[in-house]
Amino acid sequence: MVWNPSPEVAAARHFGKKFGADRVIIFYTTPSGQFGYVSYGQTPALCGETRRVAETLYQKVGETFSAAEEQRPAHSRGVLPLPPPRVFPKAPPAPPPPPKNGGA
pLDDT of res. 81? 57
Residues 41, 48: contact at Cβ < 8 Å?
yes
Nearest Cα to 58, choosing from 25, 9, 85, 31?
25
Q: Is the pLDDT of residue 94 over 50?
A: yes
Rounded Cα–Cα distance for residues 15 and 11 (Å): 6
| Minimum mean pLDDT range among 8-17, 45-54, 94-103 | 94-103
Higher model confidence: residue 19 or residue 79?
19
Exposure of 53 in the CB half-sphere (CA atoms within 13 A): 14
Q: Is the pLDDT of residue 16 over 80?
A: yes
Interval 29-85: pLDDT, tens: 777 777 788 999 999 999 999 999 999 988 887 776 544 444 444 444 455 555 555
| Minimum mean pLDDT range among 2-11, 19-28, 77-86 | 77-86
Residue extents of the structural domains in the chain = 7-84
